[in-house]
Structure 1
Amino acid sequence: MPSTAPVLVQPLRLAGPGDRRLVTSPLTAVHGWTPAPAPADGTRFTSPCRTAVLTVDGGVGSPAAWTVHGRHQLGVEPLWRASFSSGTPAEVVAAFTTTLAEDLHTQYYLHRVGTPASVLADRGWRPCDRSPRGFHDQLAPDGWALYRHRLGHQPYDDEVARLVPPTWSMLAGSPQQPSWCAEFTIGVPFHPLTQAAAAFSDPGPALRRADGIPARHLARVTVLRRPSVRSTSPPVPTEAGRPRLLPPSRPAPAPRRR
């Protein structure tokens, strides 16, 4: 099979980073986020309400690391941070960012059944009896990913500044040496976090190039078949075509004051 051939890979969390346009295209084309250059060959996307900023570190063609900051208004200290290291599947990042953009656009908190922990439990993730002290871990059925919840209180600004561990983490690959991780500080909107957990635990499949699957994951993934498509890149999603990870529900009757 040619190294550039498109393949379907499962589980999603081990499939590799994929196409960054899955993250950026809905923000700009559907939700009106404004792109601008950022330091170190990156790009910054700002929400129309100017209360959320996504920073992408890494040029096109190189692995991307993603950071989202939430603020009361642009120019003030951030209230919360969500970060995704290079190697994070674009679908996991997009589950968070697109849901956040939708919620900011509607000015509602959209209430849906479930929490990140319950979504994972429904998919067979179980508590880990080897969690570090002060943390509660849920381990994937295959043992190659975990969701970590830090217990106890600590100042939110210390979390945002990375001075203390984040409240929630997602780690994929070997728990001792994860291939990628995502971190979420206290104050992160819970609805996007839940959608990210749903993508994190999604068994897949995900569309990738054969040479885009991390070598260290080759023994842990299943390549289902070659899809009958001409392109070697995943299609750029549209608002109408983007699948929802959790079923939609009606928005809360009162708008959230930001």
Structure 2
Amino acid sequence: MPSASPLLLVTPVYLAGPGDPFTVTFPLDTAPGWTRTETADVLRYTSPCGRATVAHEPAAGPRSWTVRGYLAPDGEPFWAARFGPGTPAEITTAFTTPLIDGLRSNHRDYLEGGPQYRPGSPASLLAERGWWPNPNSPSGFHDQIAPDGRAYYRHRVGYQPPQAELDGQVPASWAMIGGSPHRPLWQADFTIGVPFYLLTRSAVALAVHPARRLRTDIPRANRPHVTTGRAAPAAFALSAEEPPTPASAPNSTTAGGPRRR
């Protein structure tokens, strides 16, 4: 009998496909004090302090997640992060995992002087990894483009009312886009007020994390543009730090297109 298809480490993560929802739900299901409620309309996790929720609402699209932050339990949302359909689960989890930990200290552990603080903005960290500014960014936005030209990090320039962002009436302050802004494979949006360390951790995941996939999980159109390596059982540990090295030499072609700096 033929052996089962091996798990692969796939880079870049933004072309790897959405992945397994378990990657998102497992840290939430096992986080102390977080409660899970499920109806036909929504799967929701609520933090022990009541100041954050992580929800999958099927009406918003398959495998989409919305994270909301509150100043007080049962209050109105103060900020939101929306991970649209198709967003790689590793990017969503790079946001929710430090949120779980950060709420224990009211985010202080992740601010300057805290034990989990990491210097650098999302834009500077991406620039260090070869993401380059788009001279043709649309009016009102500043875009950085991945080295292979197949993902964007977008910052909206100028003030918009925070409530209008939360209601989706205006573009969010920041966005991560797989593919192109005109034909996105997926998009994640972050409103003003999102704790900056969460945005930074997601940006690092966007730039450097591999994804663990079966080859059949990788969208067919993306396969010529990714690099894969065999994933050993302990080779992948999700965090927002630098990724592991694949367990073996790559076994597929590398991403096509020019590498621009």
> TM-score, length-normalised on structure 2?
0.82
Whether the aligned pair in 2 keeps the contact of 1:166 and 1:185 (CA below 8 Å) is: yes
Secondary structure of 1:81's partner?
Answer: strand
Paired position in structure 2 for 1:208: 213
Whether the aligned pair in 2 keeps the contact of 1:169 and 1:181 (CA below 8 Å) is: yes
Whether the aligned pair in 2 keeps the contact of 1:11 and 1:222 (CA below 8 Å) is: yes
Alignment of 1:77-96 (within 5 A): 77-96=76-95
* Cα 1:169–1:244 shift into 2, 3 Å: closer
Paired position in structure 2 for 1:148: 154
Q: Distance in 2 between matches of 1:43 and 1:6?
A: 28
Paired position in structure 2 for 1:168: 174
Paired position in structure 2 for 1:256: none
Runs of 4+ in 1 over 6 A off after TM superposition: none
- Which amino acid is 1:30 matched to? A
Whether the aligned pair in 2 keeps the contact of 1:31 and 1:105 (CA below 8 Å) is: no
Whether the aligned pair in 2 keeps the contact of 1:150 and 1:168 (CA below 8 Å) is: yes
Q: Distance in 2 between matches of 1:3 and 1:129?
A: 46
Paired position in structure 2 for 1:157: 163
Secondary structure of 2:224's partner?
Answer: coil
Q: Which blocks of at least 5 consecutive residues in structure 2 are unaligned?
A: 111-116, 243-261
2:241 aligned with 1:245, yes or no? yes
Alignment of 1:11-160 (within 5 A): 11-40=12-41, 42-58=42-58, 63-109=62-108, 110=110, 111-160=117-166
Whether the aligned pair in 2 keeps the contact of 1:88 and 1:180 (CA below 8 Å) is: yes
Paired position in structure 1 for 2:256: none
> TM-score, length-normalised on structure 1?
0.83
Q: Which blocks of at least 5 consecutive residues in structure 1 are unaligned?
A: 247-258
Paired position in structure 1 for 2:251: none
Whether the aligned pair in 1 keeps the contact of 2:152 and 2:180 (CA below 8 Å) is: no
* Cα 1:3–1:174 shift into 2, 3 Å: farther
Q: Distance in 2 between matches of 1:77 and 1:3?
A: 48
Q: Distance in 2 between matches of 1:10 and 1:43?
A: 30
Q: Distance in 1 between matches of 2:173 and 2:240?
A: 25
Paired position in structure 1 for 2:228: 223
% identity of equivalent residues:
44
Larger relative CO (CA 8 A, sep 6+): 1 or 2?
1
* Cα 1:210–1:58 shift into 2, 3 Å: farther
Query: How many residues in Structure 1 have an aligned counterpart in Structure 2?
Result: 234
Q: Over aligned residue pairs, what C-alpha RMSD do you find? A: 2.5
- Which amino acid is 1:12 matched to? V
- Which amino acid is 2:241 matched to? L
